[in-house]
Amino acid sequence: LNPNRNLTFNAGNVGGYAKEKNVDDVSFTRAILDDLPSLIAVDKGRVYATGISNGAMMCYRIASELADRIVAIAPVGGPMG
């Protein structure tokens, strides 16, 4: 890891490095949700997301873009973009 680079999510309108490099965190989240059931039992009616600060902003984004996969979110300390 580069200690001079802040690790962020590309939450859409903010995200530092992730936004500058156009990191596709929504697709990454989708891939995790696709793969997870092959590893553990997943109740698709109970998939939630939470995060703080930039992670909270990312929750809003995936709630919007993955509305068919995320049941509810619990963002903490992050404004809606």
pLDDT, tens digit, for every residue of 25-79?
999 999 999 999 999 999 999 999 999 999 999 999 999 999 999 999 999 998 8
pTM: 0.85
Q: Does residue 1 register a pLDDT over 60?
A: no
> What was the pLDDT predicted at 56?
94
Question: pLDDT: is 52 or 4 the higher one?
Answer: 52
Whether the CB-CB separation of 66 and 29 falls below 8 Å is answered with yes
Residue 58 in 3-state DSSP? Answer: helix
**Which DSSP symbol is given to 66?**
T
Question: pLDDT: is 4 or 31 the higher one?
Answer: 31
